[in-house]
Structure 1
């Protein structure tokens, strides 16, 4: 007898805009509030603030004997996205929790490396459902195939 795992359902294209879903009993984690638009910051002021800040070292990752995870989302993402650095885990978890857009380096099942900007993030372990700006459609991403995380640069 052969048992096959059902593949995740995907939305049919075209989908007009990223949707905001409410938490369901399926264990999904969604943004609990709309992200506030960041205020415009003068790059020179920001550079001066960064240069004036005291040098700090990051806390070691929880799995390296460091402080515990800051949120449940961090712990879930770290458990499934084993290739990510702890700083990337924190950044991705923060984007999921706050509803912020994020850019990820992703290795597709074909082995091709792509860079995708995502919004409307919904965590459904071991997957991340999101609106993909490259494909202009909802997509499902396997957390273990995410290799790095970057902030979305304002235009």
Structure 2
């Protein structure tokens, strides 16, 4: 029986890797990511943010101001996804965008007073998510470290192709 309770067909070749859904790391990561981000949704809805917007706000709360390029790197989103997201944050009064005077190709994003104040409004959100996750702080640290390593390893591997 598989983890989902379905009968497992025998592999055609015992040395062959499993093609069962429950045995795929990618599926486990996908399912966990969806579960965690869905736990964020009602909490972020109350603050008027989407999950990707929350990631950008976290980066800005840490740095106060950042270039779009820096945000692309920090939140692992591409320019095509990040630019409209920043525009929505700006239209909601949370950030302002400005081209650098010394290099107009560079766009800086800075928090407004309202954007900075939002941090205080949702400061307990990580505690609520921690409860939903149901792991100890040590377990969360271990999972986070393993996922960071996985990200670096896969990124290096795919960039060497």
Tell me the TM-score normalized by structure 2. Answer: 0.24
The structure carrying a bigger helix percent of its residues is: 2
CA radius of gyration, larger in = 2
Q: Which has the higher contact order (CA 8 A, sep 6+)?
A: 1
The structure carrying a bigger strand percent of its residues is: 1
